[in-house]
Structure 1
Amino acid sequence: MIHADTSFLVDLLRDAARSTRGPATALLEEIDREEIRVGVHVVCELLAGAEGSQRPTVERQRVRRLCGSLVVSYPDERFAPVYARAVFGRSPRWTF
């Protein structure tokens, strides 16, 4: 199983738009038998980018088509506390 990030998927979308075989497409061809997963946050970032584009309708369709071929992982109840500990461990201690 491969877990893809936003940058990789943006590169795939760019390769497809240019009809080129860039590094992302080449890697995808190498791992063609692997299941590719993305976090729901990656899908959110891609759709946000589509909304901000010059052609949002077209870009949303491209993103949805790409994500339709992937397994989207959704966080469960463990996500928020784990995220909070990760952020707190890397950030200065704030008081509210």
Structure 2
Amino acid sequence: MERLPVELLVHVISLTSPADAFRAAAVSRAFRTAADSDNVWSRFLPCDLPRFAKKELPRTLPSTKKGLFRRLADQPALLPGKFIRMQLDKATGAKCFALSVLKSG
């Protein structure tokens, strides 16, 4: 396995799930390098993330795509209007939304 090109490992891991990528990092040094790649984690981040991320996420974002994924999985982001929050499912990368209830009266 150590002789396989890192690019091949990156491609294969990017076809799996975030949970599998976390597990792959424990296999070997080569797998860890591939599993930590921004190319892998770009695939797991929502493609519409930049649209709402500009104003809603803290200015001090993680420097890696894996770090950003972990941040969004561990801490929900409030979306515009502050009544909806979005969080990524750590195992699948699915977007999970929660709606706030407005109290009248």
TM-score by length of 1: 0.28
Higher RCO (C-alpha 8 Å, min separation 6): 1
Which of the pair is proportionally richer in helix? 1
